[in-house]
A and B are shown apart, each in its own frame.
Chain A
Amino acid sequence: MSHRFTREDLERVARLARLELDASELELFSHQVAGILAYAEQMQGVDTTGIEPTAHAPGSAGAMRDDRVLPSLPREASLPAAADADVAAGLFKVPRVLG
């Protein structure tokens, strides 16, 4: 990997992550994330030919259960945690989606 993490990369990734970074963060993060990735570069020297990736801690993958409907939190218990909700109607409220 010789690609250096740039300000353009940061702006692209921030859009993907739905983060509206301010100017000072754009400046700071483009350097810091490039620094972290440069540190991580040492990993590229490890020969991983034919090595399976580990996505789960050992023993935890593949837990299966029946697909059954079980009781869960009632709406009236969950909705009060929202910034804006109509508890009686059972709805979260958000700003307009379409013009």
Chain B
Amino acid sequence: MAAFDSALDIRDAVRSGRASAVEICTAALDRIAAADGPINAFRALAPERALARAAALDERRSGDLPLLGVPVAVKDNICTRGIATTAGSRMLDGYLPPYDAAVIERLEAAGAVIVGKTNCDEFAMGSSTENSAYGPTRNPWNLDRIPGGSSGGSAAAVAARMVPLSLGSDTGGSIRQPAALCGVVGFKPSYGRVSRYGLIAFASSLDQIGPFATTVADAALAMDAIAGHDPRDSTSSPAEVPAFGRAVADSDGRLTGVRIGVPRQLFAEGVDPEVLAAFDAALEVARRLGAQIVDVPLPYNAQAIPVYYIVATAEASSNLARYDGVRYGFRAGGARSLGEMYEQTREQGFGREVKRRIILGTYVLSAGYYDAYYLKAQQVRTLIRRDYDQAFAAVDLIAMPTSPTPAFPIGERTGDPVQMYLADVFTVSANLAGLPAVTVPCGFASGRLPVGLQLTGRPMDDAQVLRAADAYGRATSWSSECPAPTPASPSR
């Protein structure tokens, strides 16, 4: 039993006694040690905690746990008690959270084994994982390219088959875009589906935690573990949680009668032709499976990037006010007064992208500019939401390419924030509208660079999104492709 089998296979093997949780955990740790050097997917490993946990599972023979013995990696902006949690920032260098996030408690209760923390853009702000204070993560398919971001480490860890399952957070595409660029499945649940208790906040009206996996069935299994109401997150929904794994397992693998809308006018410019070709071929597969493909207009989606970057930075400027050097993390030395300490701590502790966004967010909320930027963006957000409401009166799902381009070279966009922000052009609107959205591998562009198909569903209809993505995944073999097992050293 190798560590890179699916989560379902691992669970079944441990349940039946064909493998022990300790063997599985050891294999995952070995694989990480062998493969992660040039990729830099992991920030911190927790081998002692993981092996102790695995041994306890073996000891107890906890037969029916849904993720029994499954090794999981967790984005470094999700708090893990006693395991360094930095959110990719110098500001939290050495921070050991005194508590576990709700999703960690739930994963462990389901029998999962947390093996370590994955690299990300600082405070989840970025689309390439180049903004981490601890160096970039590289794409396992091509080490000169970015893995996407901000959850690039979680995507790369699954793509390189170091772990079968990982968690990320998605504020504007930070699960789906890196999943697409690394050729794995990534799911952003409906807003409110998963508790954010213990997630380091970026933009609170947009943030959501979700899984990366090699199959949709595994992502559904992870959702079964992490979804559900939590009184410690007042935005978590009290709505009943369907059995996602069951919904996928019981599906006949067809898309009979499913109406899929395609907002074709949004792809008129800026989309790579190879991405578009893979997307069109994926629609053809969906049609063969019984889906009806229809054009839908989403006119206000063209405004999604400016709206997103105003709303998200405004919320971030408020959320990141808490980093003042007093209660946790980094504090600048040598300040002569409290005010100086705040200013120097924030200057030295935050990286440039974070400062840029705090500046932008503070500006759009400041007197004289609030109405023109923040209020206007909130109003256009309403129109984007209505776009979707109207579309979902006629269709069940909306399909788009997940990313307009395949993975771009490291360093290509770091000097041009607007170009970097455009990497999120097809992902941010699901966050603005609170919708569930998945990406599933749908082919390759030149140079074996993965391309992803995004399916977005109605609010709280996460099960429909997963069922359709699973049908597509089962009808194609893209999800079983993986990068060369022993990555060469980067050429630069």
Interface string of A84-99 (1 = CB under 8 A from B): 1000000010111100
Beta-carbon contacts under 8 Å, B366-424 to A: 366, 372-373, 375-383, 385, 417-418, 421
Beta-carbon contacts under 8 Å, B289-310 to A: 300, 303, 305-307, 309-310
Interface string of A34-76 (1 = CB under 8 A from B): 0111011011101010011111111110010100000001000
Known contacts A13-B359, A92-B326; is-contact A59 B382 (Cβ 8 Å): no
User: A23 an interface residue at 8 Å Cβ cutoff?
Assistant: no
Which residues of chain B come closer than 8 Å to A55, judged between CB atoms? 205, 378
Which residues of chain A come closer than 8 Å to B362, judged between CB atoms? 13, 16-17
Bound Cα distance from A58 to B300, whole angstroms: 17
Which residues of chain A come closer than 8 Å to B271, judged between CB atoms? none
Q: Which chain B residue has the least Cβ–Cβ distance from A1?
A: B372
Which of A17, A44, A46, A65 has a CB less than 8 Å from the CB of B231? Answer: A65
Which residues of chain B come closer than 8 Å to A77, judged between CB atoms? 98-99
The segment from B10-18, B30-38, B175-183, B337-345 found at the interface with A is B337-345
The segment from B60-68, B130-138, B249-257, B327-335 found at the interface with A is B327-335
Which residues of chain A come closer than 8 Å to B381, judged between CB atoms? 53-54
Q: Which chain B residue has the least Cβ–Cβ distance from A64?
A: B234
> How far does the Cβ of A38 sit from chain B's closest Cβ, in whole Å?
9
Bound Cα distance from A17 to B418, whole angstroms: 22
Query: Is there an interface contact between B328 and A17, defined as CB atoms closer than 8 Å?
Result: no
Known contacts A35-B418, A58-B459, A92-B326; is-contact A44 B376 (Cβ 8 Å): yes
User: B117 an interface residue at 8 Å Cβ cutoff?
Assistant: no
Which residues of chain B come closer than 8 Å to A36, judged between CB atoms? 309, 360, 417-418, 421
Q: Which chain B residue has the least Cβ–Cβ distance from A32?
A: B417
Which of B336, B347, B378 has a CB less than 8 Å from the CB of A54? Answer: B378
Query: Is there an interface contact between B359 and A83, defined as CB atoms closer than 8 Å?
Result: no
Query: Is there an interface contact between B337 and A32, defined as CB atoms closer than 8 Å?
Result: no
Which residues of chain B come closer than 8 Å to A94, judged between CB atoms? 326, 338, 341
Which residues of chain A come closer than 8 Å to B433, judged between CB atoms? 57-58
Which residues of chain B come closer than 8 Å to A32, judged between CB atoms? 356, 417
Known contacts A40-B309, A95-B336; is-contact A21 B231 (Cβ 8 Å): no
Interface string of B339-357 (1 = CB under 8 A from A): 1111110110010100110
Which residues of chain B come closer than 8 Å to A48, judged between CB atoms? 376, 379-380, 383
Which residues of chain A come closer than 8 Å to B305, judged between CB atoms? 39
Bound Cα distance from A30 to B363, whole angstroms: 12
Number of interface residues of B (CB under 8 A): 73
Query: Is there an interface contact between A83 and B418, defined as CB atoms closer than 8 Å?
Result: no
Bound Cα distance from A82 to B92, whole angstroms: 11
Query: Is there an interface contact between A42 and B383, defined as CB atoms closer than 8 Å?
Result: no
Query: Is there an interface contact between A63 and B235, defined as CB atoms closer than 8 Å?
Result: yes
Which residues of chain B come closer than 8 Å to A83, judged between CB atoms? 325-326, 329-331
Which residues of chain B come closer than 8 Å to A97, judged between CB atoms? 337-338
DSSP majority for the B interface? helix
Query: Is there an interface contact between A60 and B99, defined as CB atoms closer than 8 Å?
Result: no
User: B460 an interface residue at 8 Å Cβ cutoff?
Assistant: yes
Q: Which chain A residue has the least Cβ–Cβ distance from B192?
A: A60
> How far does the Cβ of B104 sit from chain A's closest Cβ, in whole Å?
15
Interface string of B179-216 (1 = CB under 8 A from A): 00000000000011000000000000110000000000
Query: Is there an interface contact between A43 and B376, defined as CB atoms closer than 8 Å?
Result: yes
> How far does the Cβ of B45 sit from chain A's closest Cβ, in whole Å?
21
User: B46 an interface residue at 8 Å Cβ cutoff?
Assistant: no
User: B324 an interface residue at 8 Å Cβ cutoff?
Assistant: yes
User: B126 an interface residue at 8 Å Cβ cutoff?
Assistant: no
Bound Cα distance from A18 to B340, whole angstroms: 9
User: B479 an interface residue at 8 Å Cβ cutoff?
Assistant: no
Q: Which chain B residue has the least Cβ–Cβ distance from A49?
A: B379
Query: Is there an interface contact between B205 and A56, defined as CB atoms closer than 8 Å?
Result: yes
User: B450 an interface residue at 8 Å Cβ cutoff?
Assistant: no
Identify the interface centre among B338, B360, B385: most chain A CB within 10 Å of its CB. Answer: B360
> How far does the Cβ of A39 sit from chain B's closest Cβ, in whole Å?
5
> How far does the Cβ of A36 sit from chain B's closest Cβ, in whole Å?
6
Q: Which chain A residue has the least Cβ–Cβ distance from B99?
A: A73
Query: Is there an interface contact between A25 and B352, defined as CB atoms closer than 8 Å?
Result: yes
* Residue contacts A-B, CB under 8 angstroms, 11 given: A12-B366, A19-B347, A43-B303, A46-B379, A52-B379, A53-B378, A57-B205, A58-B385, A65-B231, A82-B327, A83-B329
Give 5 new A-B contacts, CB below 8 A, not counting A19-B358, A80-B98.
A43-B306, A43-B376, A46-B300, A82-B328, A92-B326
Taking Cβ atoms with an 8 Å cutoff, the residues of B that contact A are 95-99, 191-192, 205-206, 231, 234-235, 237, 300, 303, 305-307, 309-310, 317, 321, 324-331, 335-344, 346-347, 350, 352, 355-356, 358-360, 362-363, 366, 372-373, 375-383, 385, 417-418, 421, 431-434, 459-460
Taking Cβ atoms with an 8 Å cutoff, the residues of A that contact B are 1, 5, 9-10, 12-14, 16-22, 25, 28-29, 32-33, 35-37, 39-40, 42-44, 46, 48, 51-60, 63, 65, 73, 77-78, 80-84, 92, 94-97
